Amino acid sequence: MPVSGPEATVLDVSALLTRHEVLRELGERFEAAGHELALVGGPVRDALLGRAVSDLDLATSARPEQVESLVSGWADAVWDVGREFGTIGLRKGDDTVEITTYRTDAYDQDSRKPTVAFGDTLEADLSRRDFTVNALAVRLPGGEFVDAFGGIPDLAVGRLRTPVGAEQSFDDDPLRMMRAARFVAQLGFTPSDDVVAAMTAMADRLEIVSAERVREELVKLVCGAHPVAGLRLLVETGLAERVLPELPALRLERDEHHRHKDVYEHSLTVLEQSIDLEHRLAGDDQPAPADFVVRFAALMHDVGKPRTRRFEDDGTVTFHHHDVVGAKMTRKRMRALRFSNDVTDAVCLLVELHLRFHGYGTGQWTDSAVRRYVRDAGDQLERLHILTRADCTTRNKRKAARLQRTYDDLERRIAELSEAEELASIRPDLDGNRIMEVLGIGPGREVGEAYRFLLDQRMEHGPLGEDAAADLLRTWWAARS
Asked whether residue 420 is assigned to any structural domain, the reply reads yes
- pLDDT at 19 exceeding the cut of 90: no
pLDDT band, residue 113 (cuts 50/70/90)? low
Q: Once rounded to an integer, what is the mean pLDDT over residues 391-403?
A: 89
pLDDT of residue 438: 87
Q: pTM, whole model, 2 decimals?
A: 0.82
Question: Does residue 145 share a domain with residue 186?
Answer: no
pLDDT band, residue 114 (cuts 50/70/90)? low
Question: Does residue 345 share a domain with residue 227?
Answer: no
Asked whether residue 260 is assigned to any structural domain, the reply reads no
Question: Does residue 163 share a domain with residue 144?
Answer: no
Give dist(CA 56, CA 88) in Å, integer.
Answer: 12
pLDDT in tens, 353-382: 999 998 877 777 888 888 888 888 988 999
- pLDDT at 7 exceeding the cut of 50: no
pLDDT in tens, 66-93: 999 999 999 999 999 888 889 999 999 9
Question: Does residue 443 share a domain with residue 413?
Answer: no
- pLDDT at 156 exceeding the cut of 70: yes
For CA atoms 169, 172, 174, 178, give the dihedral sign. negative
Question: Does residue 359 share a domain with residue 445?
Answer: no
pLDDT in tens, 253-298: 554 444 445 899 999 999 999 999 999 998 766 778 999 999 999 9
Question: Does residue 135 share a domain with residue 28?
Answer: yes
Asked whether residue 252 is assigned to any structural domain, the reply reads no
pLDDT in tens, 288-338: 899 999 999 999 999 999 998 888 777 788 888 999 999 999 999 999 999
Asked whether residue 344 is assigned to any structural domain, the reply reads yes
pLDDT in tens, 196-215: 999 999 999 999 999 999 99
Question: Does residue 84 share a domain with residue 46?
Answer: yes
Question: Does residue 341 share a domain with residue 306?
Answer: yes
The number of CA neighbours under 13 Å toward the Cβ of 400 is 9
Cβ proximity of 171 and 205 under 8 Å: yes
- pLDDT at 233 exceeding the cut of 60: yes
Q: What is the mean pLDDT of the chain?
A: 88
Q: Once rounded to an integer, what is the mean pLDDT over residues 423-442?
A: 81
Give the domain extent around 402.
Answer: 266-425
Asked whether residue 248 is assigned to any structural domain, the reply reads no
pLDDT of residue 78: 96
Q: Which of 129, 156, 183 is the last residue of a domain?
A: 156
Asked whether residue 258 is assigned to any structural domain, the reply reads no
Question: Does residue 144 share a domain with residue 105?
Answer: yes
Question: Does residue 35 share a domain with residue 111?
Answer: yes
- Please return the burial class of 211, using the count of CB atoms within 10 Å of its CB with bins 0-12, 13-18 and 19+: middle
**Domain count across the chain:** 4
Asked whether residue 179 is assigned to any structural domain, the reply reads yes
Question: Does residue 81 share a domain with residue 111?
Answer: yes
Question: Does residue 279 share a domain with residue 230?
Answer: no
